[in-house]
């Protein structure tokens, strides 16, 4: 069975690139109903939702809308007013965690699949059967399950689709049900309404006071200790095992991540899935771990999924922000003749060699000319500039407009 590769679509641009770089389906949220609030790019709203889904369907892909907040009555009332407009745009599924929202969706829509969110913490076969009997087509399993436990669920419940996370940031709370952000911002930034400030990535100092005269040393550096900060999940080495278990959908986390992250991760896992299915189309080197190392991460782990893996130490005690082995340099805005116009994310110098990543290949090029926005030849393209580049070779690739520039090599090996 060929599993679906499911990518995050935080905005319209990311959806477009995720599709081009190998996604079979994308999931995305709408304002007010999603666990991720988007602030960059073309935000997806009810007003442009029809265009977004047309883009997805024209590429023969699927689009799933996340309605996965934990809803108060005012949220239910708003959704009740909006749900028919949303449904008329014909999403392929709604991702739901709250039973009240499930009830509204069933009441006002027809012929749209229901996927049960990982926020429901589904850990066992009976829970899957319960949601199946409520009309769900798919259950997104909790990240706290091992491969063996997932295999058991698959054998016990054959008449519902199963989805699991294979890559991305993990939460220190049970499948994301966290109140730290709510508590530390006096309720102003609710994690389960899409506004988490990520206090699990902050630095902490601990003092044990409940056992008089029994003190326990806690090792930390002068920045404190990032005791809550989990490493990122990466199951690139276990894709064949997951395919053999007949899991229907393999999910990547990261709706708030960069365009570069979404594209690179999509391509790496598309390559691995196709290799397992003996349909390799992407011209990448054999070491996909090196590809993953070039993408922002907090260190990689197999987490609960493969608990006996020697790399499965799940916490990153010394860093809170992601580190990338390569720097994302630019995205392409336009192409004319043998030049490309780029929106700069990091600085590039004249005569610098860099790597262009495309949906099916990597190409190393050298910058031989830079023209700035004043139409002047210059020696450097700085962050946030819009410049024209000329390279030492012509790129014959139909997907050139989707190319992304990055530095060569790996600075930090995960």
Which domain CATH number covers 348? 2.40.30.10
**Domain for residue 86, yes or no?**
yes
The pLDDT value given to residue 19? 98
Cα separation, 187 vs 75, in Å, equals 16
For residues 266 and 162, membership in a common domain is answered with yes
Domain count, the chain: 2
Same domain? For 117 and 15 the reply is yes
Give the domain-ending residue among 301, 319, 338. Answer: 301
Identify whether 66 is part of a domain: yes
Neighbours of 274 (CB within 10 A): 17
Residue 114 and residue 257 in one domain? yes
Q: Of 189, 169, 170, nearest to 179 (Cα)?
A: 189
pLDDT of amino acid 231: 83
Answer whether residue 129 is part of any domain.
Answer: yes
> Is 313 within a domain?
no
Q: How many angstroms separate the CA atoms of 14 and 195, rounded?
A: 20
Q: What contacts 41, CB < 8 A, 6 or more positions away?
A: 10, 11, 12, 13, 14, 259
Considering the domain boundaries, does residue 189 fall inside one? no
**Domain identity same for 27 and 86:** yes
3-state secondary structure of 365: strand
Per the domain annotation, does 156 fall within a domain? yes
Q: Looking at the structure, tell me whether residues 29 and 166 fall in a common domain.
A: yes
Rounded to two decimals, the pTM is 0.86
In a domain, 393, yes or no: yes
237 plus 386 within the same structural domain? no
Domain end among 301, 316, 339: 301
289 and 360 assigned to the same domain? no
Rounded Cα gap, residues 213 and 229, in angstroms: 29
- Same domain (yes/no): 17, 164: yes
What is the token pair recorded at 163?
């989805």
Residue 226 pLDDT: 55
- pLDDT score at 319: 54
Last residue of a domain, one of 250, 283, 301: 301
In a domain, 159, yes or no: yes
Task: Say yes or no: 235 and 332 in one domain.
Answer: no
Task: List the CATH number of the domain containing 58.
Answer: 3.20.20.70
Token pair 């040393």: residue: 217
pLDDT (0 to 100) of residue 216: 45
Between CA 279 and CA 277 the distance in angstroms is: 6
Q: Are 29 and 8 within 8 A, CB to CB? A: no
282 lies in the same domain as 337: no
Q: What is the DSSP string of 133-179?
A: HTT-SEEE--TT--HHHHHHHHHH--SSEEEEEEEE---SSGGG---
Instruction: State both tokens at 126.
Output: 């009976």
pLDDT along the chain (414 residues), means of 10: 94 96 96 67 91 98 93 93 96 96 95 95 96 97 93 98 92 62 66 66 61 51 57 92 97 88 95 90 78 87 80 55 82 94 97 96 96 96 97 93 93 55
- What the block records as the tokens of 135 is 């009309």
**Whether the Cβ atoms of residue 250 and residue 23 lie closer than 8 Å to each other:** no
Are both 87 and 26 inside the same structural domain?
yes
Same domain, 260 and 338: no
56 is in which domain, residue-wise?
4-175+229-301
């Amino acid at each position: 069975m060929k599993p679906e590769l499911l990518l995050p679509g935080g905005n319209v641009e990311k959806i477009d690139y995720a599709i081009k770089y190998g996604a079979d389906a994308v999931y995305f949220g709408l304002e007010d109903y999603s666990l991720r609030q988007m602030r960059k790019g073309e935000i997806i709203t009810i007003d442009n939702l029809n265009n977004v889904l047309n883009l997805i369907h024209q590429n023969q892909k699927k689009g799933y809308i996340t309605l996965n907040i934990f809803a108060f009555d005012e949220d239910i009332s708003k959704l009740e007013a909006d749900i028919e407009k949303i449904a008329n745009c014909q999403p392929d599924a709604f991702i739901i965690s709250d039973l009240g929202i499930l009830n509204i969706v069933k009441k006002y829509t027809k012929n749209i699949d229901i996927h049960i969110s990982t926020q429901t913490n589904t850990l066992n076969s009976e829970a899957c059967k319960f949601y199946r009997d409520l009309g769900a087509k798919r259950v997104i399993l909790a990240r706290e399950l091992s491969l063996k436990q997932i295999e058991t669920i698959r054998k016990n419940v054959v008449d519902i689709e199963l989805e699991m996370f294979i890559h991305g940031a993990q939460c220190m709370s049970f499948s994301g049900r966290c109140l730290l952000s709510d508590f530390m911002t006096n309720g102003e930034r609710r994690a389960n309404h899409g506004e988490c400030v990520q206090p699990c990535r902050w630095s902490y100092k601990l003092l044990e006071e409940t056992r008089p005269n029994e003190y326990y040393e806690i090792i930390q550096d002068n920045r404190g200790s990032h005791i809550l900060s989990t490493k990122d999940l990466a199951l690139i080495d276990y894709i064949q095992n997951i395919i053999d278990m007949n899991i229907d959908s393999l999910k990547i986390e990261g709706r708030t991540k960069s365009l570069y992250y979404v594209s690179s991760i999509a391509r790496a896992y598309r390559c691995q899935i196709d290799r397992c299915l003996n349909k390799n189309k992407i011209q990448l080197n054999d070491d996909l771990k090196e590809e993953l190392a070039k993408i922002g991460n907090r260190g990689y782990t197999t987490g609960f999924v493969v608990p006996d893996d020697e790399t499965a130490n799940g916490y990153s005690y010394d860093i809170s922000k992601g580190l990338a082995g390569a720097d994302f340099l630019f995205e392409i805005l336009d192409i004319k003749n043998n030049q490309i116009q780029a929106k700069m994310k990091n600085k590039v110098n004249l005569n610098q060699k860099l790597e262009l990543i495309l949906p099916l290949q990597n190409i190393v090029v050298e910058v031989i000319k830079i023209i700035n926005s004043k139409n002047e030849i210059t020696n450097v393209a700085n962050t946030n500039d819009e410049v024209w580049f000329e390279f030492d070779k012509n790129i014959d690739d139909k997907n050139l407009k989707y190319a992304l520039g990055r530095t060569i090599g790996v600075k930090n090996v995960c």
